[in-house]
Structure 1
């Protein structure tokens, strides 16, 4: 029997309409629910009411003080009679507008917000073309142009405080505040600094909520709102899956605005707001097929290029077998492209040598969680693990830079009372918000997890009922972690034993506490073991299959989850159906009408050494740049140079494309229809905003044509048709199609049939594999540790402003203005010992080579440790990273590499 207490309601009258709403509803929301619009300038629906603008005044019959109240703060009550448009109300609003205009520069014709300004709209509605007040006003011509992306004009500011509230309460930065007094009052960054001197992240969320032209994007001067249309799509950067409205004028994208998606809720980061579109219209886009002749690329027709591609791959297959060919697919392109690409490789190339960039980032997640839980994906939703939680255990993840909108939501969670425990070798930004920072030595995640479990078991904090009912393998785990006392683990991790005990208690005692991790767990030679350790820890306290809990990997690129789902893996057909399973092979043979290779293929990190040996003859690379992204760059170059034939399908002339025999122009996310799958398994629409550049074609159509020319007929009319085929072959996608994806929340797999609403939380009641499997995993050190010759332990990762190879972000001027060269973070102590100052040029060497970069001296890294990003062509860190692999997932150990550093005397 349902014993839930029924929701209490109240009934009132608004403009002669009877309205029944839940008790506690504001008058503003009650009016909105019956289609009555009440004007407001300060209100943000995601935040509690502010009541500062006074535009939402309404009259309550019989109310105190003349009956006028602010609708955003006043609550509905039984029997209330509300008037929203009578003379008293309209006179009140007109007076507010008159006051606002008295200190507002009325220059609508020259204002970028013309036609998209609430103050302008309301002034027209209430009949004001100017102010009746005279005298002193905001000083003129004080526009701050210093931010590379937006301008601030205090003469147009109405002090609604939307910017400061979204910055503090949603972005979690608290950069903007009201400064000075009287007519000198204005919104300013902290301490009155210019925008470019503050700690503003340039997320642009303040710009997006500004109701006037006070904060305007610099690009907005090139268009007016009425000239444009807005196309909602999914951001092409990280795996958060933010929904974004691309602003289109003609056939050009001129701006981007946050949309109300389930993962971002009207927030964007600097990349989504300002760098998600400029690369689409870049002048250096590839627009026609190119064939290399006598060492030079020359333009070719599609027929010439595709004939050459098909003939060369066919000849190599006939001479050396299908396993002499391979394909690397693109984790930034849509699911439909990835599905057709792996289908082309498996059917036309006749090999399972297909992979995607998850190999070098999150393949450990796919393998580790699949083995322990039965599904290699995030267990809960972004909203669930950041909204109503008591604690968060963040391990090897830097979300404020790698997944910025999730980082903002974690800051919000801390504001609302969650205790944050950060386990990371660096003092990442979220350390400032954390209850506890475990600054562990790089490569010691398994030891830390074992130490936490030791404390939990010894202090009686394990969920014995959950363990008994839903798991197996516990006794072996318990016996193994008995040796990992806080004192033993503290010595391995180089932290205090008390910190391990405190972290274990915070996590275990919290009712709702998710584990969130990223590449700091996976990119190790023990990455899969690290992932399994995360699931061990969560199962030990029964925090899986429940709201606000789970094991939650943040997938790196926008569609790395989808590329894995679509079978761009040598081990898996689409939907993680195993190549090693003969029944699965027969299933796909029947569906695709051909005989398939039953042999497990090579990973991308195995293909390149095989090319050096001469075992791989031909390679098709779609949207990847391994020269920049893969470890030990010199070996990647040797591999590409040793191929008989290389095809690259790309947007730009990348470093990898320069090695190709044929380059085929690809099209960007903004030029195609399809889907991305974000880190929380949410399949969301990608919508075409502009036409492709030049002669570029749909990527999936190119793959289908290559397959057809190689003797495997293949054709699709649309991405929707491809998704229909995906739904037929993947049980977890059985209920997904484009019609259902018009749902603004998308669909989270598993979604097995047309009546299935999707699965927000995995493993509820039962794990995908039946019982959760504890894995007793002892700690193993990294395969390369510092020594006298190479005394510093280097780690790599992302930064906020750039993304991967900078192919997209590097074509946004403002991004480059903020960050345009590589750097290495060095601890003060080490810098002083080496005679290095902040900004000095330094040489960084490993056993694989040397690079030059610039020192960023501080305390973000521990002594004897350093950190570099992998975004920049100068000082490309992958020239020196270690190509040793995780034995299970074949993932490179990006996070641990021994280096030497020396100053370069200018």
Structure 2
């Protein structure tokens, strides 16, 4: 996030796109609802009528996968009507002309036809966002889980820059991270192309610094991202995997393809809390300690580094992840030796400039937000005040591209996926209390589609895509529009990712979970099998 969670309440406009915060990020969702009570106005872009849509000033019920067209349409109206902050653009940005060459073609009528959103609502949203000083963009996986996810984010940056909604409080571009330490994992190089602190593996100075710190030569070759690993494993080019804290068999797209990859490996290690669906394929299972059984830090979505403290002893043979990794490293010939989590963090701050001023003592009670370059620095509440890291912000023309998979006569429905309030990813199914609240999937189907197919509320249906077929119970609701259905990915009994498309963004390699073409039929009519 460029800005902070506490600033949300003081936005005058929140532009929320591809995010169902009250269910996926309940704490942040409560901040958004407080903002509404304070008088803020919400612009909500979502194919579903979520709780936030019901609180919104403007709800843009978008056809899944058409976000780039909408954003271009908003920028078109903002520039054409003189609502752009051209002083900000001229002083702090570059590439406006290149961006405008693309955007000038996205007149409201064309955008309405692509997105399914009425012209008057597009116009109203553009005016409200552009003409409000404290307006922040908030997005999640509904923007990034597309084959054009990276371009969607770039286009949101265009929208923020053309209106000058960056570098000030209660504004900015704010991705809401999907899990508690996604930000920290990325900061510390859980990516194949960077060292900690996002220092490129192609940078000789960065490479030399880490070689000196670790005492070993480092490869200049970029590694693979998860979808690439799965693909090459299927063809036998990747022989072994070490999976820690992930369950790709249940959470990755085209699950049957993932299962084939796991079966094709010569050696699989899984390090986790439970015997997950992926762990069933493992040659070795390493039992790990959970967050309350170890010390360390998490870095949350607002860049805040916070302490995690051991509250109870880990059961049985469970150990902290770092301790297991150190042991394996020693047995493989590299003496990775740390006495505790704090010593590891001291190495992190020594090698990562944005973390340099953060110490365990300073975050004993309240965390600090990076960048925090010195021990005197108070941390950074919001980013880009006065200047961007690259100097001037780069605006780029982003063309709308259709999703990788569209509906047809055989697969006439669009399936989009997400989370629900009662479960968090897949681990909460191990809680009997939470599982009692929602023990099974309820696929959302519009009443018009249900009537055509003769489906009753709560009835079982078979959902089939080009990749697989599953059975689920249903709920008939106008939260989704005709031709669109919604499911979550929490249930191994109805594993929706056997249906989803593994086509992925060419840059981030994030799969297109949000748009898959499917057909639905009554379970009994489908033969009950």
**What's the TM-score, normalizing by structure 1?**
0.58
Out of 357, 361, 378, the residue aligned to residue 739 of structure 1 is 361
Alignment of 1:536 with 2:158, yes or no, is: yes
d(CA) in 1 for partners of 2:234 and 2:133? 53
1:516-531 equivalence runs, <5 A = 516-531=138-153
SS in 1 for 2:146: coil
Q: In the alignment, what sits opposite 1:865?
A: 484
Out of 608, 621, 636, the residue aligned to residue 243 of structure 2 is 621
Deviation of 1:527 after TM superposition, in Å, equals 0.3
Assess if the C-alpha contact under 8 Å between 1:701 and 1:715 holds in 2: no
Q: In the alignment, what sits opposite 1:515?
A: 137
1:587-598 equivalence runs, <5 A = 587-598=209-220
1:825-836 equivalence runs, <5 A = 825-836=444-455
Out of 555, 561, 586, the residue aligned to residue 177 of structure 2 is 555
Q: In the alignment, what sits opposite 1:464?
A: 86
Deviation of 1:387 after TM superposition, in Å, equals 1.9
Greater RCO between the two (CA within 8 Å, min separation 6)? 2
Q: In the alignment, what sits opposite 2:52?
A: 430
Q: In the alignment, what sits opposite 1:440?
A: 62
Assess if the C-alpha contact under 8 Å between 2:441 and 2:474 holds in 1: no
d(CA) in 1 for partners of 2:430 and 2:410? 39
d(CA) in 2 for partners of 1:841 and 1:886? 33
Out of 683, 694, 699, the residue aligned to residue 321 of structure 2 is 699
1:826-865 equivalence runs, <5 A = 826-865=445-484
Out of 253, 276, 282, the residue aligned to residue 654 of structure 1 is 276
Alignment of 1:568 with 2:187, yes or no, is: no
Deviation of 1:874 after TM superposition, in Å, equals 1.2
Q: In the alignment, what sits opposite 1:814?
A: 433
Out of 496, 499, 503, the residue aligned to residue 880 of structure 1 is 499
Deviation of 1:895 after TM superposition, in Å, equals 0.4
Deviation of 1:822 after TM superposition, in Å, equals 1.4
Alignment of 1:381 with 2:4, yes or no, is: yes
Assess if the C-alpha contact under 8 Å between 1:582 and 1:598 holds in 2: no
SS in 2 for 1:742: coil
Assess if the C-alpha contact under 8 Å between 1:792 and 1:899 holds in 2: yes
Assess if the C-alpha contact under 8 Å between 1:683 and 1:747 holds in 2: yes
Deviation of 1:582 after TM superposition, in Å, equals 2.5
Out of 764, 768, 771, the residue aligned to residue 389 of structure 2 is 768
Q: After TM superposition, which residue ranges in structure 1, 4 or more long, deviate above 6 angstroms?
A: none
1:41-60 equivalence runs, <5 A = none
1:120-519 equivalence runs, <5 A = 378-384=1-7, 386-519=8-141
Alignment of 1:602 with 2:221, yes or no, is: no
SS in 1 for 2:135: coil
Deviation of 1:810 after TM superposition, in Å, equals 1.6
Assess if the C-alpha contact under 8 Å between 1:824 and 1:867 holds in 2: yes
Deviation of 1:823 after TM superposition, in Å, equals 2.2
d(CA) in 2 for partners of 1:609 and 1:837? 39
Deviation of 1:662 after TM superposition, in Å, equals 0.8
Deviation of 1:596 after TM superposition, in Å, equals 0.9
d(CA) in 2 for partners of 1:441 and 1:564? 31
Assess if the C-alpha contact under 8 Å between 2:418 and 2:489 holds in 1: yes
SS in 2 for 1:853: strand
Deviation of 1:543 after TM superposition, in Å, equals 0.5
Alpha-carbon displacement from aligned partner over 1:596-622 (angstroms, at most 9, x marks no partner): 111000001111111111111111111
Deviation of 1:812 after TM superposition, in Å, equals 2.2
Alignment of 1:790 with 2:411, yes or no, is: yes
Out of 746, 770, 781, the residue aligned to residue 402 of structure 2 is 781
Deviation of 1:769 after TM superposition, in Å, equals 1.4
d(CA) in 2 for partners of 1:872 and 1:571? 33
d(CA) in 1 for partners of 2:332 and 2:348? 23
Alpha-carbon displacement from aligned partner over 1:341-397 (angstroms, at most 9, x marks no partner): xxxxxxxxxxxxxxxxxxxxxxxxxxxxxxxxxxxxx1000111x222211100010
SS in 2 for 1:725: helix
Q: In the alignment, what sits opposite 1:106?
A: none
Assess if the C-alpha contact under 8 Å between 1:733 and 1:751 holds in 2: yes
Assess if the C-alpha contact under 8 Å between 1:674 and 1:685 holds in 2: yes
Deviation of 1:507 after TM superposition, in Å, equals 0.3
SS in 1 for 2:363: helix
Deviation of 1:768 after TM superposition, in Å, equals 1.4
Alignment of 1:894 with 2:517, yes or no, is: no
Deviation of 1:855 after TM superposition, in Å, equals 1.2
Q: In the alignment, what sits opposite 2:373?
A: 752
d(CA) in 2 for partners of 1:681 and 1:509? 28
d(CA) in 2 for partners of 1:811 and 1:782? 35
Assess if the C-alpha contact under 8 Å between 1:426 and 1:862 holds in 2: yes
SS in 2 for 1:740: coil
Q: Which consecutive residues of structure 1, in runs of 5 or more, have no partner in the other structure?
A: 1-377
SS in 2 for 1:392: strand
d(CA) in 2 for partners of 1:582 and 1:893? 35
SS in 2 for 1:801: coil
d(CA) in 2 for partners of 1:575 and 1:615? 30
d(CA) in 2 for partners of 1:526 and 1:697? 39
Deviation of 1:581 after TM superposition, in Å, equals 2.0
d(CA) in 1 for partners of 2:190 and 2:477? 41
Deviation of 1:867 after TM superposition, in Å, equals 0.6
d(CA) in 1 for partners of 2:391 and 2:341? 35
Q: In the alignment, what sits opposite 1:687?
A: 309
Assess if the C-alpha contact under 8 Å between 1:827 and 1:865 holds in 2: yes
Q: In the alignment, what sits opposite 1:823?
A: 442
Q: In the alignment, what sits opposite 1:94?
A: none
Deviation of 1:573 after TM superposition, in Å, equals 1.1
Assess if the C-alpha contact under 8 Å between 1:793 and 1:864 holds in 2: yes
d(CA) in 1 for partners of 2:492 and 2:187? 31
d(CA) in 2 for partners of 1:512 and 1:586? 43
Assess if the C-alpha contact under 8 Å between 1:842 and 1:854 holds in 2: yes
d(CA) in 2 for partners of 1:821 and 1:660? 27
Larger-Rg structure:
1
d(CA) in 1 for partners of 2:64 and 2:195? 34
SS in 2 for 1:700: helix
Aligned alpha-carbon RMSD (Å) = 0.9
d(CA) in 1 for partners of 2:341 and 2:273? 19
Give the length in aligned residue pairs: 525
